[in-house]
Amino acid sequence: MLWQAFLRKGGIKHVPEMLSSTAKTIEKFLVKPLVAISKEEKFSARWNISGRWESI
């Protein structure tokens, strides 16, 4: 309910109806760089339009 209210109030469209779906997308985006940070490793990748990290 709060998620739907947030979307309506912000005029946000074209997003999943469920917050859990959005959270999974954010996790997919953040997990690899955060793992690199936690291991103090260099992270050399870019996010592409298909929704994956690509090495650069």
Q: pLDDT tens, 8-40? A: 999 999 888 899 999 998 998 999 999 999 999
pLDDT value at 56 more than 90 = no
**DSSP class of 15:** S
Category of 11 on φ-ψ map: left (φ > 0), alpha (ψ -120 to 50) or beta:
left
For 13-52, strand residue ranges (E) read 45-47
Please tell me the pTM assigned to this model: 0.68
Alpha carbons 27 and 23: distance in angstroms, whole number: 6
Distances (CA, A) of 8 to 2, 4, 30, 56: 10, 6, 26, 38
* pLDDT in the model for residue 1: 83
